[in-house]
Copies of this chain bind each other. A is one copy, B any other.
Amino acid sequence: MAVDLTELIDDLPLVDHHVHGATAHDLSRRAFEELITESDRPVPAWMTTFDSQLGHAILRHCAPELGLDPHASPEEYLARRARLGAGEVNRRLLGATGVGHYLLETGHRGEEILGPGGMAEVTGVPVDEVVRLEQVAEQVAASGCAAGAFARRFAEALWERTRTARGLKTVAAYRHGLGFDPSRPSAAEVAEAAGRWLAEGEAAADHAAGEPDGGPGAGPYGGSGSVPERRLGLVKDAGPGTAGWRVTDPVLLRHLIWTGLDRGLPLQFHTGFGDPDVDLRRADPLLLRGLIELAEPTGVPIMLLHCYPYVRGAGHLAHAYPAVHFDVGLGVTYTGARAAALVAESLEVAPFAKLLFSSDAWGPAELHHLGATLWRRALARVLGGFVNEGEWSPAQAARVAAMVGAGNARRVYALTAPRP
């Protein structure tokens, strides 16, 4: 008889090691559709984002949480969602994830998005913080800073900002791509690059005053956030008070990363799939090999996020280098019925101690819910396949599920075990 791991995996109290806040706002159809895609372009009139793996997964797995049949229509779903209200939707969808600990990346936390406190209140589980390096740098710049003082000011702000944080995050993949010189820039290089940035940024900030999003380099659609619902999506890449201060200089990005390595917390890298700001060719985690080797003496865990479609390359890095860990979050959510393919690829050459779970959800609680639900279903299918093909024992499958779902993250981020 076929072994079914579903129940065992459904019962795991996951650690979501990279996630953002849920929105506490009710959402129009347009806003909802724009928040279930990574594209920042307006959704063309001839399509709906419900016609996607993510859309189908929402109707399949979230509709029952709102009291509808699976495979409800988008109209039924959105009507029920509106009737329940965002608060009740959040309670239901977040309450059913079975996540036991969230590590919340707070690089942008306008009033639309729940912060650590709000997330802890809704979910009833511990929420710790992951701090985005670029946001701290942009806040330093926006607060006014001399070029020669930037490195010191940034370090001070980073230490202050991360007193209780569990990890750091960099979006260098979006800002420049990962193909940068991996070596630590000199103090003089940093001061010079900071001088250029601060001069340009002040001009841009003046120009951007009153616009909460965008700024230089945000792309052709980056500054068009005139509709509140639209802004909800666009705020992804900007923090309050940092309009116009978008750090893209590779010298500065490297400096942020190396200062982050000094700080010593696990350092998360966005890699692979994301919004149109990312040049996917320049987001290949294999580009980080030089940095990984230079950073080895620090012992800092390097956490590769998402990795789609570079899952196998990420697995190679996790195999070769003790510090490297990775996940297939975000990709799992967006590939829906195909999520098992990604999870399976992540279980090839990587040691099982190097793989983690994340959702990378941002905004609608459907993304938090599906990040966990689709991952559980995919893992149960993949590990169940290994067992039923006679390759693994059920005990091995259970052990690996517990490691990937929670144990590895508890070790890397030094989280205490949950109370039984």
CB-defined interface of A327-340 with B at 8 Å, one 1/0 digit per residue? Answer: 00001001111100
Known contacts: A53-B349, A56-B391, A281-B287. The answer to whether A322 contacts B38 by CB under 8 A is no
Q: Which residue of the partner chain, among B39, B53, B341, contacts A320 with CB atoms under 8 Å?
A: B39
Nearest B residue to A374 via CB reads B391
Number of chain A residues close to chain B: CB under 8 A: 73
Question: Is A348 part of the contact surface with B, judged by Cβ < 8 Å?
Answer: yes
- Which of A14-22, A42-50, A85-93 interfaces with chain B? A42-50
Known contacts: A319-B37, A337-B386, A338-B347. The answer to whether A289 contacts B279 by CB under 8 A is yes
- Which of A115-123, A152-160, A251-259, A308-316 interfaces with chain B? A308-316
How far, in whole Å, are A15 and B308 apart by their CA atoms in the complex?
A: 31
How far, in whole Å, are A41 and B287 apart by their CA atoms in the complex?
A: 20
B322→A44 contact, CB < 8 A: yes
Known contacts: A57-B391, A281-B287, A400-B51. The answer to whether A309 contacts B320 by CB under 8 A is no
Known contacts: A281-B287, A286-B281. The answer to whether A349 contacts B322 by CB under 8 A is no
Min distance, Cβ A282 to any Cβ of chain B, angstroms: 9
Cβ of A319: which chain B residues have Cβ within 8 Å of it?
37-39, 334
CB-defined interface of A343-360 with B at 8 Å, one 1/0 digit per residue? Answer: 011011111111000000
Cβ of A38: which chain B residues have Cβ within 8 Å of it?
319-320
Q: Please provide the 6 A-B residue pairs with the shortest distance between their CB atoms, ordered closest to farther.
A: A309-B312, A337-B391, A71-B393, A47-B353, A276-B320, A337-B386
Given A39-B320, A331-B349, 4 other A-B residues pairs in contact with their CB atoms under 8 A = A60-B392, A71-B395, A273-B316, A336-B391
